[in-house]
Every structure is written in C-alpha cells, then in structure tokens.
C-alpha cells in the first residue's frame, strides 16, 4: 500500500509539473524523452572513497560553493567560478530563447535492441549502428514563431503491418516493443501556418540515403524487404528548396574503442565554449550535465552544444542530493531543469547525473517513473580539488580504457586547459569521443531507473 501511495504521488507531481500532456496537431513542448529497456549495469559509480562513510562527493568537488568546507580557499574559488557563470537578471531576460530562430524539426528513432536514440537536431542524420535498425520514431517542432499555429505529423510503414495511422507532435509511432523495421516514412506540417514552410526528409535504406521527400511524400521503398536504418529531416521556408547537404554522418564504429567525456555543473560560457571549440576541431562530442540554475544565463552555449551533436543532460536544478529528497522534490528538481534546457535548445535531456553520486533505491524508482537512468563515472579526474590541468591530463591518460565515462567540470579554467590537450590526445590514441547515450547505444543500451558508470 505504501508503494502504491508513493507511485500516486509521483504521477501527481509529474502531472502538476506539466510533463504528462500532449496537444494533438500542435507542438506543445519541444524535445522528446525516451530510453529503451536494456540490460542494466548495477555496479557502483566508480568514485574514490576518502572515508568509510561514503564516496567523495561532487559537492566536495566544488559544484556548489555553499556546500564546500566552510572558510576554505576551495570554497571561495568555487564561488568565484559560480558567480562568473551567472549573469544579471536583466541579461537573463534577453536570452536567445526569445530570439526568432528559424523553425526546425527535431526527431529520434527507436533502435531495435538498444532503445531511443538521442534527440537529433534539424538536418542531422539519426542513423543506427550496423547491428540494429529503426522500429519507431517521433518528432517535434522547435522555435515556433509566437502566435503561429504550426505542428507536425508523421506516418510510418511498419514491416508486416503496412502504413500506421498518423502520429502528432512528439508522439511515438511504430513498434518499440517489436523487432520489425520501418520500411518508409511520410511527414508533413499541420496548422494554419504550415503553408509558409516546406518539410523535407529522407531515410537511410540499403546502405545509402534516399532522395529528399517533401510535404507528405514517401521516403523509402515499402513492401520490398528493405529496412530503414536512419532518418534525416529539415524545415525550410516555402519555396527555398531542399536543405543544404551536411558533412557525412557522425559515424560510430562499434568495433573501435570509444569513451564519453562528461562535464558537470555548468555551463560557464568562458570555459564551456573552449571545450566545444576543441571538440569541434577534433570531430568529437561530449555530454554536459547542467545545473538548472545556470541554464537561462547560458542559452547560446547550450544551443551550440546541441548544434554540435553534444548531449545536453540534467544535474538537477539546484545541485540537490536526490537521495535526500522525497519523490515530489526529485520530480521538481529534474523536470524544471529539463524544461529550462528544452526552452533554450529544443532538446529535453534523457539522462541525469545525481549530484555527489548519491542515489538509492527510492530515488532510482522516481527516476524510472521519469524515464531516466542515472549516469555515474569510471574515471574521476578530481579537477575540482587540485585545479591543475596537468594532473587532470595525467589521470585520464594513465587510466583510460574503452567504455569509460570520464568526470570533469566545465566551470574551471584549468579544466578547459586540460580538455584542450586531452581531446586531441585521446583522438590520436584511436578513441571515438561520443556522448553517453551514443556509448550506451553501442554497448547494449540503458534502462530508466538504473545506474551506469561505464559501458564495456
């Protein structure tokens, strides 16, 4: 009976937070959330213990200065970093969320045996690894101009079932629970402003991308035994023609070693931008676990993360230990952060990292309700403690192995110094620098309500 009551409270909190809603025919909230069922790794977070009472916490790592050792130099330095990461309220009110960015479509695919892909931005390939294929999809519009009524709907031909009914604005379509692939798709815009735009899309089929289909046409060949292995879509102004061809898809080779660089506590523009520069120069991606209270002041940096294919992720709104919160508190901390991030870049995070690595059975149960796994780490650089770039570099290069999740913090200048050395060095060693969700997808996937520290 107690578990039943707890579950009811979680659902009620979710509903109150505005998570459980949809408006057919109109995009109500940008971003999609979904993590497929997969084998869980129930090992520990890979943290170093300084005392028997528990793991060294990331709060001791300077993520929240007010929780540092009182009076210490580390506390004052961390507070300085936190203050530099924030901007005045007036600046926050002028964030890019209010700019008239072009209308775009974001989408994700369910990959058989692995789960939902990361949300893919407009005109970017969402492609399955060689060992799997697409069984379902979902799509949203972002940057809808104020006062405009425009939505999106999409239809799939599911092998063995034919064309399914249209789905609208973020709803999934296909069969995530089955193994039958999609064979073709159709997409079109809806609403009284749809005539102002063209919607282009194509699929990866039989080893190559099809030609663009547009405004309800069919992309892919149905009833020929060919499966869909990827999706790409883009919105353009009416009559502007097909979107530009992009560089080759960011291909992940599951046979090659790969690691996930992760950065907590940001963004801090001066630091995060340098890390993004290095990733862009070396063809890598990373995952940024953001504190919700930092989001509004750093919208342009978050938009750049998404544009580069990095993963936007959740680190709670106020860096709270979720194991010390009740269900309502956990929901509030996570949902408010997801909403802020989605408002900036159109992508709602699908993974979170518990501050300090503190997570227990009760908090994992709430995360399962929210559809999110808890991501820990296998290499702790302790960059927060020593603030020494060379020590961070040496720690990573001496310990790194295929499948590692590496913990750093993008609020320290010395971390950016280290990242600018590590990113090309790791690439030169043959490691693919991928996001956590990409690493998981290549190594069996992950499931909501479970924790992961590595993917071997």
Q: How is residue 20 written in tokens? A: 């459980």
Q: What are phi and psi of 324, to 5 degrees?
A: -105, 0
Lookup result for tokens 């999106």: 152
Between CA 360 and CA 57 the distance in angstroms is: 15
Between CA 23 and CA 287 the distance in angstroms is: 30
Residues in the chain: 456
Active site residue 409: yes
- Annotated catalytic residue within 409, 410, 417, 450: 409
- Annotated catalytic residue within 229, 264, 380, 404: 264
Q: How many CB atoms lie within 10 A of CB 214?
A: 17
Biggest distance spanned by C-alpha atoms of the chain: 70
Q: How is residue 259 written in tokens? A: 């690691």
Sign of CA dihedral 362, 363, 366, 371: negative
Active site residue 386: no
Burial 407-420 (b: 16+ CB within 10 A, else e): bbbbbbebbbbbbb
Does residue 415 contact residue 263 with C-beta atoms inside 8 Å?
A: yes
Q: How is residue 356 written in tokens? A: 């300090």
DSSP state of 202: E
For 37, 119, 338, the CA distances from 345, given in Å and listed in that order, are 26, 11, 11
**162 burial level (CB within 10 Å; 0-12, 13-18, 19+):** exposed
**49 burial level (CB within 10 Å; 0-12, 13-18, 19+):** exposed
Give the catalytic positions in this structure: 264, 409
């Amino acid at each position: 009976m107690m578990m039943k009551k707890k579950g009811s409270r979680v659902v009620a909190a979710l509903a109150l937070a505005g998570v459980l809603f949809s408006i057919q025919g109109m995009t109500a909230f940008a971003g999609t959330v979904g993590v497929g069922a997969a084998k869980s790794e129930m090992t520990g977070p890979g943290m170093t213990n300084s005392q028997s009472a528990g793991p060294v916490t990331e709060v001791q790592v300077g993520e929240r200065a007010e929780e540092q050792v009182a009076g210490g130099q580390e506390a004052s330095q961390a507070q300085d970093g936190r203050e530099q990461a924030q901007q005045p309220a007036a600046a926050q009110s002028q964030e890019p969320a209010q700019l008239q960015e072009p209308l775009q479509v974001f989408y994700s695919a369910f990959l058989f045996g692995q789960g939902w892909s990361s949300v893919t931005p407009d005109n970017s390939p969402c492609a399955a690894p060689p060992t799997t294929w697409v069984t379902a999809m979902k799509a949203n519009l972002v940057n809808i101009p104020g006062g405009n009524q425009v939505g999106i709907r999409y239809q799939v031909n599911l092998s063995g079932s034919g064309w399914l009914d249209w789905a609208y604005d973020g709803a999934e379509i296909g069969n995530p629970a089955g193994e039958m692939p999609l064979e073709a798709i159709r997409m079109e815009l809806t609403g009284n402003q749809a005539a102002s735009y063209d919607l282009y899309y194509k699929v990866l089929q039989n080893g190559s991308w099809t030609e663009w289909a547009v405004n309800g046409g069919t992309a892919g060949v149905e009833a020929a035994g060919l499966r869909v292995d990827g999706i790409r879509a883009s919105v353009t102004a009416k009559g502007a023609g097909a979107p530009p061809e992009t560089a080759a898809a960011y291909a992940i080779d599951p046979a090659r070693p790969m690691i996930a660089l992760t950065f907590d506590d940001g963004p801090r523009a001066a630091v995060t931008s340098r890390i993004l520069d290095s990733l862009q120069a070396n063809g890598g991606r990373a995952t940024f676990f953001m504190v919700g209270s930092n989001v509004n002041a750093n919208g342009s940096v978050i938009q750049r993360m998404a544009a580069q294919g990095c993963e936007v992720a959740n680190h709670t709104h106020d860096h709270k230990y979720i194991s010390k919160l009740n269900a309502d508190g956990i929901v509030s901390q996570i949902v408010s952060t997801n909403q802020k991030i989605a408002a900036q870049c159109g992508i709602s995070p699908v993974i979170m990292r518990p501050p300090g690595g503190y997570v227990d059975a009760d908090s994992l149960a709430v995360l399962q309700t929210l559809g999110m796994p808890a991501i820990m780490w296998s290499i702790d650089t302790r960059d927060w403690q020593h603030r020494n770039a060379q020590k961070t570099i040496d720690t990573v290069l001496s310990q790194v192995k295929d499948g590692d999740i590496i913990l750093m913090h993008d609020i320290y200048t010395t971390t950016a110094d280290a990242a600018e050395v590590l990113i090309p060095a790791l690439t030169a060693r043959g490691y693919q620098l991928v996001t956590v969700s990409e690493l998981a997808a290549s190594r069996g996937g992950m499931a909501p309500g479970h924790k992961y520290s590595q993917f071997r």
